[in-house]
């Protein structure tokens, strides 16, 4: 399909809903080899559009307009990797101090400081170490290292050191502050930040004629908080032939807006598939979320158990995704049974995670059921006695508020004979021996009775 004009526009179905519209911008392209994928699920889009999830703030609109104004076709591909904090590996320990002040050792040391997720209390120390290293030998560090450093300071909202490093770089090296540095400065931050500053920077860049590259769009995407502008940017990037692979890991909040078939198509278009051995655990987790949001849990489970390459993806992260689905649908019986099943069949050790999720999130907010207090007394004492089980500081007061509202006894540590019997029934009856059965009515009568006892509706 050659020589046709494609217009940036909003989905036409938005016209009667809450979203604002933007001026249309025509982009003439001589070739378009990869037609965009219609990403919205036709199964749920109308219902979603009627909710507040499809809203766009004025700040988000302004960022999108700036990106439009800064963009030429074809969009230049950045020479540097897209930096995303959520993709950085975690580490409890800082790298060892360099044994010497050689260029190689200092650069490696600072790169490790800027590309791992360290515990929050260590951030001030890391900030100081980076600043001291760069100030001592600014000429040692290549452009990519400076980009990582600026990204680190910006992400942690330390703008003073961020711009101090930039000034040092400009004054004491041959490097200049080009679009790559502006990209990492407009990127998302750990703390809520002033969007006006981001917009002012983009408007200034547009006024100066500085053009966006692929990383400008990726970092702009991280600034979108609402679903609608995220989807709009994905549409625009597809129309501009900007690869989406660098931001695929950020699509989990949007998984419900894709059918599994469409998400698979998008993954394949970006070179991600089981056959190519390019499907990662985090990306499969996003695909699994799409299956769950579209009530295709049985199909998802058949896929996992029937595909040997996918079985390793049944890990803690995917387990949490399943449990979140069960609890959000008031399926506490399934949550207990699924935990027992994956511990038995996949060797996971996740019972403490289940306790934490039920006690912190489910029990303070679930619908009323008669045996609520028994579940609290079975699980809450375990949580307070085991330091490895995460317990939110507000959980106790939230549970007490629930107990007061529904006139339960708020003594959560006094276990009665009834509580012990309910625990015995959960351990005995909420069990899937051969495979999970995700339709309650198709389970054994003892399973159904016990699930109802813990508040799961038919």
pLDDT tens digit sequence for 366-381:
999 999 999 999 999 9
pLDDT band at 36 (very low <50, low <70, confident <90, very high): low
- Asked whether residue 267 is assigned to any structural domain, the reply reads no
* Residue in the block written with tokens 């004025």: 58
Q: Is residue 10 pLDDT above 50, yes or no?
A: no
CB atoms within 10 A of CB 166: 18
Query: Cα-flanking dihedrals φ and ψ of residue 31, to 5°?
Result: -135, 145
Mean per-residue pLDDT over the chain, rounded: 90
CA distance 203 to 195: 12
Same domain, 28 and 90: no
Closest CA to 222 of 261, 258, 184: 184
CA distance 101 to 396: 52
Same domain, 105 and 61: no
Same domain, 41 and 92: no
Q: Are 205 and 179 in contact (CB under 8 A)?
A: yes
- Asked whether residue 66 is assigned to any structural domain, the reply reads yes
Same domain, 132 and 51: no
Same domain, 371 and 348: yes
Residue 397: CB partners within 8 Å, gap ≥ 6? Answer: none
Q: Are 439 and 297 in contact (CB under 8 A)?
A: no
Same domain, 227 and 372: no
Digit-coded pLDDT (tens) for 422-453? 999 999 999 999 999 999 999 999 999 999 99
- Asked whether residue 304 is assigned to any structural domain, the reply reads no
pLDDT band at 9 (very low <50, low <70, confident <90, very high): very low
Same domain, 369 and 401: yes
* Model confidence, pTM: 0.85
- Asked whether residue 389 is assigned to any structural domain, the reply reads yes
Same domain, 441 and 330: yes
The last residue of one of the domains, among 186, 217, 236, is 186
The last residue of one of the domains, among 250, 274, 290, is 250
CA distance 364 to 264: 36
Closest CA to 338 of 447, 229, 175: 447
Q: Is residue 50 pLDDT above 90, yes or no?
A: no
Digit-coded pLDDT (tens) for 51-86? 444 455 899 999 999 999 999 999 999 999 999 999
Same domain, 154 and 212: no
- Asked whether residue 443 is assigned to any structural domain, the reply reads yes
Q: How many structural domains comprise the chain? A: 3
Task: Considering only residues 318 and 387, tell me which one the structure prediction assigns the higher pLDDT.
Answer: 318
Digit-coded pLDDT (tens) for 292-304? 999 999 999 999 9
- Asked whether residue 125 is assigned to any structural domain, the reply reads yes
Same domain, 208 and 71: yes
What does DSSP assign to residue 176?
-
Same domain, 340 and 212: no
- Asked whether residue 330 is assigned to any structural domain, the reply reads yes
- Asked whether residue 271 is assigned to any structural domain, the reply reads no
Digit-coded pLDDT (tens) for 85-114? 999 999 999 999 999 999 999 999 999 999
CA distance 248 to 254: 10
pLDDT at 38: 56
Q: Which domain holds residue 45?
A: 2-79+201-250
Same domain, 236 and 371: no
């Amino acid at each position: 399909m050659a020589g046709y004009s494609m217009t940036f526009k909003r989905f036409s179905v938005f016209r009667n809903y809450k979203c604002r519209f933007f001026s249309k911008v025509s982009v003439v392209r001589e070739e378009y080899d990869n037609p965009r994928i219609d990403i919205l699920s036709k199964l749920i889009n109308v219902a979603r559009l009627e909710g507040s999830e499809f809203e766009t703030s004025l700040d988000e609109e302004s960022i999108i307009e700036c990106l439009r104004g800064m963009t030429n076709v074809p969009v230049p591909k950045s020479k540097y990797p897209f930096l995303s904090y959520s993709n950085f590996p975690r580490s409890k320990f800082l790298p060892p101090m360099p044994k010497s002040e050689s260029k190689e050792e200092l650069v490696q040391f600072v790169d490790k400081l800027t590309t791992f997720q360290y515990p929050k209390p260590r951030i001030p120390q890391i900030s100081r170490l980076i600043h001291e290293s760069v100030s001592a030998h600014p000429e040692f560090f290549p452009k990519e290292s400076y980009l990582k450093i600026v990204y680190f300071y910006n992400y942690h909202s330390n703008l003073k050191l961020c711009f101090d490093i930039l000034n040092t770089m400009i004054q004491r090296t041959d490097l200049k502050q080009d679009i790559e540095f502006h990209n990492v400065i407009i990127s998302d931050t750990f703390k809520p930040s002033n969007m006006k500053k981001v917009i002012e920077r983009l408007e200034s860049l547009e006024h100066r004629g500085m053009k966006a590259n692929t990383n400008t769009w990726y970092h702009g995407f991280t600034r979108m908080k609402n679903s609608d502008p995220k989807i709009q940017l994905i549409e625009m990037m597809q129309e501009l032939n900007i690869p989406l692979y660098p931001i695929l890991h950020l699509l989990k909040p949007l998984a419900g807006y894709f059918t599994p078939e469409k998400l698979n198509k998008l993954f394949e278009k970006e070179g991600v598939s089981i056959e190519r051995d390019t499907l990662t655990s985090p990306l499969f987790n996003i695909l699994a979320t799409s299956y769950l949001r579209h009530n295709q849990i049985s199909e998802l489970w058949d896929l996992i158990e029937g595909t040997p390459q996918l079985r390793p993806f049944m890990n803690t992260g995917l387990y949490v995704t399943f449990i979140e689905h069960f609890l959000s649908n008031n399926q506490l019986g399934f949550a207990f049974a699924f935990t027992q099943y994956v511990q038995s069949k996949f060797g996971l050790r996740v019972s403490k995670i289940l306790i934490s999720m039920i006690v912190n999130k489910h029990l303070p907010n679930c619908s009323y059921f008669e045996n609520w207090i028994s579940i609290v007394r079975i699980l809450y004492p375990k949580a307070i006695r085991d330091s490895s089980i995460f317990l939110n500081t507000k959980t106790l007061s939230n549970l007490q508020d629930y107990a007061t509202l529904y006139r339960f006894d708020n003594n959560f540590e006094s276990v009665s004979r009834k509580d012990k019997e309910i625990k015995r029934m959960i351990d005995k009856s909420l069990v899937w021996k051969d495979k999970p059965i995700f339709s309650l009515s198709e389970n054994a009568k003892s399973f159904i009775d016990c699930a109802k006892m813990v508040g799961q509706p038919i």
